[in-house]
Structure 1
Amino acid sequence: MRREVSSAGQMGGVPVLILKEGTQRSKGRDAQSANITAARAVAAAVKTTLGPKGMDKMLVNSLGDVIITGDGAYILKEMDIEHPAAKMIVEVAKTQDEEIGDGTTTAVVLAGELLAKAEELFDMGVHPTIIVKGYRIAVDKSKEILESLAKHVSPEQEDILMNIATTAIKGREDHSMKTRLAKIAVEAVKAVTDVSDGRKVDPDEIKIEKLEGGSVEDSELILGVVIDKERASINMPRIIEDARILLLNRAIEIRKTETKSRIDITTPEQMMLFLDQEEDLIRDMVHKIENSGANVVFCKKGIDDVAEYYLAKSNILAVKNVSEKDMEKLSRATRAKILTDLEAISDSDLGGACIAEEVRIGEKKLIFVRECSNPKSVTVLLRGGTKHVVESMETTFNDAIRVVGTVIEDGRYVAGAGAPEIEVSLGLRKYAASLKGREQLAVYKFAEAVDIVPKALAENSGLSSIDMLVELRGQHERGVKDAGIDIYAGKVVDMARTGIIEPLRVKIQAIDSATEAASMILRIDDVISAGRERMPGAPPPGPGGY
């Protein structure tokens, strides 16, 4: 129930005005029900995208642009959501995506189901505070159960890393294509892993370049950097082997003075002398580059036409107007220092690569810096027949590199396909029986809510969720802790044997994020919305306050 609030009480029969005219307010069960309904609607919007056989959504913006995706985080980011409680569920997806990169849909769907079970507890007369307390108890126990299920993995166990990457690559029925992308993901992550910092992985060091044309098989990992630029001059060499790379954070041209100045030239001879002096200065810059031993130059700023001529004459490949981000990646890949001065360039300032070349792919020209020695920044070139294909590949490939990075950092994984959720559900049911008080009911409902993950996986695959849950519980109770739903075979199998596995952190983060959002929404019992401001001279609002 929503009503306009203009006072909160009376003193001697006189109303005391505390809220602005037009303010909307809902309290108690009305506020809780409205918030839960809004949050559950968001969860329902992405529920059908869960799993490898999940459906896609078509998003059409105000300009008519169409995006087709099955990525829960992307869908929620693009949806124009206004309800404050619904926005909290969107934050769940955002947090999961930023922390792990995968499991966003699982977290959102679980949050929606926790709220649905909370409504059932409301009907039984359980207070929200008790529900929240019970949910926190259930989370702690869930983590304990998940920890007991975890298996250890090292970066050298490439077969396990491949399985984790393949599991994250959603929506590709072609096994060979999934294997191709998974292999690239594993190699890319291993290349940028910082072993000196406890196996730290920074996904930003893996640059992704998307190119329309070709097929997924043409996708490749470049142990170096690919830049969406071309040579500064067509007279420069197209390819340089044994590249000696110089990175400049300055222009190769005459700097403009900071103050305004005037030069009076009255004769043609003076003009020629002035131009000759400028050319000499530029020639001196190029001479310093040449003397440094560099044969490839990447410049953050511009390169004068005269400088381009002399660089080409010296057989130096130069690229201008390179972005700061690409300059940093080049530095990480080639070990070159980014210089602001051409004076006294030492050998240690230069970076190295086997090959630097300009490559034409379709109508596009790109600069490839290949085969760097022990690069800490790499590039993945994704190819696909259409724009939609490469964009979809980028989303799923990002998930793959994030989960591989996570499992390399943590060194632990669990079975996928609903196996850990069923184990948590069964464990919580047994645990709830040992508790006293109404928290026991909340823990039991939490166990029921966790079942939503295998149920949704089965439903989205065209299988009977009831039959799958019965079979899952039966196998887990018989001790097969890794039993999950093989959506392709349509039956319950041991996921550890089939290679459907996920990082432990994905599951823990999903349960944490979902419970935190659900608890926050359940604690709200009063929603006050500010009234809309009226323009001066406008008529007063109607009965609804608007």
Structure 2
Amino acid sequence: MSISDRPYKTILKRNVNRLKDADAQETNIIASCVMAEVIRTTFGPLGMDKLILDPVDEVIITNDGATIVKNFDVRHPMAKLIDMLVRAQDDEAGDGTKTVVIYLGEFLRKALTLMDAGLKPSTIIAGYQKAAEYAKRILAQNVIEVLSDNDQLLRQIAQTAMIGKTVGAVDYFTDIALKSVRQVSKNKEGTLKVDIKKIAILGKQGESLLDSQLIVGMAIDKTVCRDDMPKRVVNAKIAVVGPSIEARKTKLDAKISIRNPRLMQQFKAQERQIVREILDKFIQLGVNVLLSRRDLSEEAQIYLSMNNILAVQFVRGWDLEKIAGAVGGTLITDFKDIQEGYLGNAELVEEVKIGSDYVIFIRGCRDPKALCIFLRGGTEHIVYEAERRMNDALCVLRNALEDRKIVVGGGAIEMELSKEIKNWSTQFSGKEQLAMQAFAEAFEVIPRTLIENAGLEPIDLLPLLREHHVKAPEGKWAGFDCFAKVICDMYKLGIYDTFRVKQHAINAADEICRQILNIDDVIHAKPAEYETPEEEENI
């Protein structure tokens, strides 16, 4: 008996479970495919929603891939790996989270079939790697150039990302998203850069989606500090403040012992004087709105109220940065040097009651470098979904403007990739060719999913779709129209995906797939705190 054949329990603790070789690979693949299958039914404009009950009994109804995966309470380690995959896709491309999970599930499903037929994981990994590199080259050859001034095309890109997901108001939301992206775009050395982090999205329950609005300024979910402060300021001069307005504290812990009441009064009066001296600097510059990241002391609030200044405290740091960009000001971090140029301006700052909450609106900013999209909806679920879809639209518009590349949607690009990789794989021989062909066939999962979610049978339509891509002169644009439920030209229909979304999805799914296939051992160990002294002695 060789060393590797001896029982592994002679060196492992009793509370350790282990899966080896084919068992480990099959378990990992099946777990990943199960999660992909959950996501698959939500894909496309006719995809279904999922109802998730989170640990605090909050109900989430969504068909957003990132939200589903993040709230998917699965103990299997593959769930964590897929969660990392989805987060990477969301961070890099802002969309395509469902696509990347579906790709991964189908790559692994095809790999499991090949392993059952006798292929080794190393052979499949080598074939997949070559096919993925070729797929990226084919993807780059089938891009459509986007001109930054082509508003019609940009609207179609945003609508593709939102249609079927936002409950109505797709055209209205598209206009808002396009105007927002235009406002925060900058031309740097001939390249357009879009910083969508400068676009704040605030949602409040009430009214309808069509009552949402683009605010040329900012909206913050806060209220003024005191009831006797003004709630509405016209021609506002705004100071955006970072540190707390108070008497400076010593770095070391120090105690002052005062026994004389008169000295205590003098000490308090000196503290008030320090606060007033800081506030006087703002008052002399004509500030009538002060927004602070930290708290404002009672003395500061009273003094600001006496001078008819609207003040808001505990504004989040990232909101302050956006506000500073919107009003044309600078975040003040040092009270020793307060200048006129640090202040911002707006036509109107007002506190508005929305339902049971209050919102501070800053409107009428001149050439704002940041802005806010204020969303409304009949229920919290609708508002949440609207926020997600607006974010998707902003991300795909950013991708299109920065990369200037898009591809056709509706499963057309996947069918073209499948066809080209199959043709290319014929120049290879041996088992690697089988892996390449399986990789090519896996791309057909996207049009197949669209067909299934539309209530039709893939066996009836997939052969026709393959025939279009092989024979038709403009066959590479052929995809599935979910609403008309027919095969048609996606280019003429205006169904597009961004190049960045597809490229990153192929990259990420291929890499994670090969990583999973390369695992041949899964070891589950109980945490050390659950071990008993008897178990330790018996090892």
1:496 shift after superposition: 1.7
TM-score after normalising by structure 2: 0.91
2: CA distance between counterparts of 1:535 and 1:106? 42
Question: Aligned in 2, Cα 1:265/1:112: closer, same or farther, shift over 3 Å?
Answer: same
Aligned to 1:513: 508
Question: Aligned in 2, Cα 1:450/1:541: closer, same or farther, shift over 3 Å?
Answer: farther
Aligned to 2:473: 479
Structure 1 position 296 matched with structure 2 position 289: yes
Question: Aligned in 2, Cα 1:107/1:344: closer, same or farther, shift over 3 Å?
Answer: closer
1:202 shift after superposition: 3.0
Choose which of 78, 85, 89 in structure 2 pairs with 1:92: 85
SS of alignment partner, residue 19 of structure 2 = strand
Aligned to 1:181: 173
2: CA distance between counterparts of 1:325 and 1:228? 13
CA RMSD of aligned residues (A): 2.7
Instruction: Check the 8 A contact 1:8/1:18 in 2, yes or no.
Output: no
Instruction: Check the 8 A contact 1:8/1:16 in 2, yes or no.
Output: no
Question: Aligned in 2, Cα 1:299/1:512: closer, same or farther, shift over 3 Å?
Answer: same
1:273 shift after superposition: 6.1
Q: Give the partner amino acid of 1:186.
A: L
1: CA distance between counterparts of 2:444 and 2:533? 57
Aligned to 1:501: 496
SS of alignment partner, residue 227 of structure 2 = coil
2: CA distance between counterparts of 1:230 and 1:148? 53
Instruction: Check the 8 A contact 1:22/1:541 in 2, yes or no.
Output: no
The total of aligned residue pairs comes to 531
Q: How does 1:15-34 map to 2 (within 5 A)?
A: 17-34=10-27
TM-score after normalising by structure 1: 0.90
Aligned to 2:258: 263
1: CA distance between counterparts of 2:240 and 2:292? 6
Question: Aligned in 2, Cα 1:282/1:457: closer, same or farther, shift over 3 Å?
Answer: same
Instruction: Check the 8 A contact 1:415/1:502 in 2, yes or no.
Output: yes
1:141 shift after superposition: 1.5
1:36-55 alpha-carbon deviations (Å, 9 max, x no partner): 11111111111101111111
SS of alignment partner, residue 14 of structure 2 = coil
1: CA distance between counterparts of 2:353 and 2:32? 49
1: CA distance between counterparts of 2:268 and 2:237? 31
2: CA distance between counterparts of 1:93 and 1:303? 41
Instruction: Check the 8 A contact 2:14/2:535 in 1, yes or no.
Output: no
Q: Give the partner amino acid of 2:473.
A: G
Instruction: Check the 8 A contact 1:237/1:315 in 2, yes or no.
Output: yes
Aligned to 1:3: none
Question: Aligned in 2, Cα 1:296/1:233: closer, same or farther, shift over 3 Å?
Answer: same
SS of alignment partner, residue 50 of structure 1 = coil
Q: Give the partner amino acid of 1:188.
A: S
2: CA distance between counterparts of 1:266 and 1:520? 73
Q: How does 1:401-420 map to 2 (within 5 A)?
A: 401-420=394-413
358-367 vs 24-33, which deviates more? 24-33
Q: How does 1:358-369 map to 2 (within 5 A)?
A: 358-369=351-362
278-287 vs 484-493, which deviates more? 278-287
Structure 1 position 463 matched with structure 2 position 459: no
Aligned to 1:232: 225
Question: Aligned in 2, Cα 1:227/1:173: closer, same or farther, shift over 3 Å?
Answer: closer
- Alignment gaps of 5+ in structure 1: 1-6
Question: Aligned in 2, Cα 1:355/1:434: closer, same or farther, shift over 3 Å?
Answer: same
SS of alignment partner, residue 188 of structure 2 = helix
Instruction: Check the 8 A contact 1:21/1:531 in 2, yes or no.
Output: no
Instruction: Check the 8 A contact 1:22/1:532 in 2, yes or no.
Output: no
1:28 shift after superposition: 2.4
Aligned to 1:49: 42
1:130 shift after superposition: 1.6
1:462 shift after superposition: 0.9
Aligned to 1:492: 487
Choose which of 33, 56, 70 in structure 2 pairs with 1:63: 56
Aligned to 1:524: 519
Question: Aligned in 2, Cα 1:457/1:305: closer, same or farther, shift over 3 Å?
Answer: same
SS of alignment partner, residue 282 of structure 2 = helix
Structure 1 position 335 matched with structure 2 position 331: no
Aligned to 1:107: 100
2: CA distance between counterparts of 1:265 and 1:352? 47
1:27 shift after superposition: 2.4
2: CA distance between counterparts of 1:47 and 1:115? 14
1:416 shift after superposition: 0.7
Q: How does 1:118-197 map to 2 (within 5 A)?
A: 118-172=111-165, 177-196=169-188
1: CA distance between counterparts of 2:464 and 2:85? 31
1:239-269 alpha-carbon deviations (Å, 9 max, x no partner): 22332211222333444566221334446xx
307-316 vs 35-44, which deviates more? 307-316
1: CA distance between counterparts of 2:344 and 2:300? 22
Q: Give the partner amino acid of 1:502.
A: D
Q: Give the partner amino acid of 2:486.
A: K
1:196-228 alpha-carbon deviations (Å, 9 max, x no partner): 373233332221111000100111111222111
1:287 shift after superposition: 2.5
Instruction: Check the 8 A contact 1:289/1:342 in 2, yes or no.
Output: no
1: CA distance between counterparts of 2:144 and 2:339? 49
1: CA distance between counterparts of 2:351 and 2:453? 46
1:331-388 alpha-carbon deviations (Å, 9 max, x no partner): 2222322223434422211122232222222222111122322322221111101111
Instruction: Check the 8 A contact 2:166/2:386 in 1, yes or no.
Output: no
- The alignment-based identity, stated in percent, is 38
Q: Give the partner amino acid of 1:517.
A: I
1: CA distance between counterparts of 2:83 and 2:298? 51
1:409-466 alpha-carbon deviations (Å, 9 max, x no partner): 1110011110100111111111111222322111111111110000001101112212
Choose which of 303, 307, 310 in structure 2 pairs with 1:317: 310
1:280 shift after superposition: 4.5
SS of alignment partner, residue 192 of structure 2 = coil
